[in-house]
Structure 1
């Protein structure tokens, strides 16, 4: 059975920068049996990143979210797993105001960082928290998760205004602000006639491993990947400028 100390030792081998910015996509099931369960996994990553900025996606885009068209960051359940749901309840964790694609942050700069999502009307806009990972020279950790969960690619597609990605019809969402006041926004969600294009994002993995943009690591039982945001972005921007429809299908990248 894995422990907090063994998880930290595994993370030491990944090349994750302790004082940097790290966003974690996760599958607790893939991690395996840990003494203390998911809370111990969080204890390990929080301690490892105590001098940096740690982020988890705490998305709430599923059909079971936003009942009555209301988003309250203090109470809205995340639809992306147990670790994000536990993380956003930790002392010092601050969740952003994005109604469908929020992040929760911890660290000395957490409060300032999540403010990027205070004025957002699409899933991953240029001014939002996901796009901001480029400026942070951030790393992504796919902890037992596949690159199909790579939300950051949505921000690249939005930045380049890739067609057939955003629903032209908005929905009204009421945001419950920190002071209890309510602000209503028009939110334009994801939509594509090709279906869920994020299912094709994992075609990036093998080329990124070959180029050193990503590297494989083992954390407990979880086969994991550490991805450098800046070189990934620069490479994917070039690919999409050449072929805006790159992620419309699962055909490998040549």
Structure 2
């Protein structure tokens, strides 16, 4: 059975930067039996990152829509897993106020990191928390889930304006802020043939280019992603091949050769 101490040791072996910024996507069940349950998992992450910034998604895109348009930062539950919902209720955790793609953060600069997110009219704007992951040289830890659950790649697609990935029109959504004020947040949404289900295609190339590595946390297989390297690499690919994630076929070798040639030229 896993304990807080054993899970902290797993994080050390994964060489996570404990003084940096860490975003965690997770499947609690994948970790196996844990003494103390999900709270112990959160305790281990929080303890390891006590000198850094720990971030978990607390998204509400599944149910905050034009038909149910009001997000309440204090009341609206996360729709992306047990750990995220429990984390947002913890002491000293700050939740951002974006109506569909909020995050919760604990630690260094948590309040500053999360503030003002309701001002963005897309889920993952470059100026939002998702772009800040690049600016802060963050790491992304995928616990028991693969790249298809990595919201950060949605952000990269937004930043390069991938055709068909965003709705043209805005929905009239609203956020109830920490102050209690209700603000109008006209919002575009992600769209486009379930592109995220095709993100697995770049698993190999991220490994080959040193943007991702793998390990274990408890019983779970994990991926550790370098946000800056991943953004640079996928930006390069998406600018050359905007339809990269439009089908479910493996990545063609020509794109590996392209990146290898780019690297040898630099």
TM-score range, shorter chain: over 0.9
Q: Distance in 1 between matches of 2:168 and 2:248?
A: 25
Q: Distance in 1 between matches of 2:65 and 2:121?
A: 17
Which residue is equivalent to 1:96?
A: 96
Q: Distance in 2 between matches of 1:238 and 1:225?
A: 21
Which residue is equivalent to 2:30?
A: 30
Equivalent residues of 1:55, 1:106 under 8 A apart:
yes
Q: Distance in 1 between matches of 2:166 and 2:191?
A: 5
Q: Distance in 2 between matches of 1:9 and 1:66?
A: 45
Query: What is the Cα deviation at residue 171 of structure 1?
Result: 1.4
Q: Distance in 2 between matches of 1:212 and 1:238?
A: 15
Deviation string 1:101-129 (CA, Å, 9 cap, x unpaired) is 11111112000000251411111111111
Q: Distance in 1 between matches of 2:3 and 2:95?
A: 27
SS at match of 1:247: coil
Q: Which runs of 4+ in 1 moved over 4 A?
A: 64-67
Which residue is equivalent to 2:261?
A: none
Does residue 1:215 correspond to 2:202, yes or no?
Answer: no
Q: Distance in 1 between matches of 2:63 and 2:136?
A: 32
Equivalent residues of 1:116, 1:127 under 8 A apart:
no
Which residue is equivalent to 1:41?
A: 41
Q: Distance in 2 between matches of 1:129 and 1:86?
A: 20
SS at match of 1:189: coil
Count the aligned residue pairs.
Answer: 252
CA distance 1:9–1:65, change in 2 (3 Å): farther
Equivalent residues of 1:98, 1:120 under 8 A apart:
yes
Q: Distance in 2 between matches of 1:100 and 1:185?
A: 10
Aligned-residue CA RMSD (Å): 1.4
Equivalent residues of 1:65, 1:77 under 8 A apart:
no
Deviation string 1:41-96 (CA, Å, 9 cap, x unpaired) is 00000000000011001110113778731111111111110000000000011100
Runs of 5+ in structure 2 lacking a partner? Answer: 254-266
Which residue is equivalent to 1:231?
A: 229
Which residue is equivalent to 2:239?
A: 241
Q: Distance in 2 between matches of 1:3 and 1:124?
A: 34
Q: Distance in 1 between matches of 2:39 and 2:23?
A: 17
Which residue is equivalent to 1:6?
A: 6
TM-score normalised by L of structure 2: 0.91
SS at match of 1:248: coil
CA distance 1:65–1:81, change in 2 (3 Å): farther
SS at match of 1:131: helix
Query: What is the Cα deviation at residue 210 of structure 1?
Result: 2.2
Runs of 5+ in structure 1 lacking a partner? Answer: none
